[in-house]
């Protein structure tokens, strides 16, 4: 099984605590997911994320409905949290979220905000077939998912 890594970093003009709180509200996941993913909760999400919180939902991936269960493995507000797949469409999924307070540019010390830094490491099942699926579609779909999420976060928090 090959491991893939996607790293993202973008800036929002809001204080770190506020940005972290938005991410720590599980229901906000539906606000940033693409409409075509059809995110549907299979059980009520917790009121807020915490270490050990479990999220059960269904999404469409490559047109197929998939059940997905993730757990928050690490939770360190307002700095970072890590979610991992317990079961679902991936052979492995670990998504690290970091929130770093700071100006957008070093030359602009008066404009405070938060850098959102993501590191997603994942693997697809089915060995070489999974690698082909990644090359043909899955890698691009994951990138588009994060592109959409980043746009939506800017719309909601800028």
Q: Please tell me whether the peptide bond between 23 and the residue prior to it is cis, using omega within 30 degrees of 0.
A: no
Phi, psi of 133 (to 5 degrees): -60, -40
Q: In what order do the strands lie in the sheet with 114-123?
A: 3-12, 114-123, 92-101, 80-87, 64-76, 54-61, 40-41
Give percent of the chain above pLDDT 90: 69
Give DSSP secondary structure letters for 104-156: SSTT-TT---EEEEEEEEEE-SSHHHHHHHIIIIIHHHHHHHHHHHHHHHHHH
Domain boundaries, the chain: 3-157
- Span 115-142, average pLDDT: 81
pLDDT in tens, 34-62: 988 899 999 999 999 999 999 999 998 76
pLDDT per residue over 96-119, tens digit each? Answer: 999 999 988 766 666 789 999 999
pLDDT confidence of residue 51: 98
DSSP code, position 101: E
pLDDT at res. 57: 96
Model pLDDT, residue 133: 67
137, 105, 106: which is closest to 124 by C-alpha? 137
Q: What predicted TM-score, i.e. pTM, was given to this entire model? A: 0.89
CATH topology of domain 3-157: Alpha-D-Glucose-1,6-Bisphosphate; Chain A, domain 4 (3.30.530)
Residue 32 · residue 148 · CB < 8 Å: yes
What burial letters (b/e) apply to 118-144, b meaning 16+ CB within 10 Å?
bebebbbeeeeebbebbeeebbeebee
pLDDT of residue 1 exceeding 60: no
Tracing tokens 């998939």 back to the chain, one arrives at: 66
Q: Look at residue 24 and tell me whether its pLDDT is greater than 70.
A: yes
């Amino acid at each position: 099984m090959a491991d893939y890594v996607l790293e993202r970093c973008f800036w929002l003009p809001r204080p770190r605590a506020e940005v972290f709180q938005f991410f720590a509200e599980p229901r906000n996941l539906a606000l940033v997911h693409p409409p075509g993913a059809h995110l549907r909760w299979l059980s009520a999400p917790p009121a807020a994320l915490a270490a050990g919180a479990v999220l059960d939902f269904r999404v469409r991936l490559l047109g197929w409905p998939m059940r997905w269960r993730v757990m928050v493995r690490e939770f360190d507000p307002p700095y970072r949290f890590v979610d991992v797949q317990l079961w679902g469409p991936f052979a492995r999924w670990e998504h690290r979220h970091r929130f770093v307070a700071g100006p957008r540019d070093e030359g602009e010390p008066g404009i405070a905000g938060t850098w959102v830094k993501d590191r997603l490491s994942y693997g697809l099942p089915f060995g070489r077939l999974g690698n082909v699926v990644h090359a043909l579609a899955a890698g691009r779909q994951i990138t588009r998912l994060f592109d959409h999420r980043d746009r939506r976060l800017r719309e909601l928090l800028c």
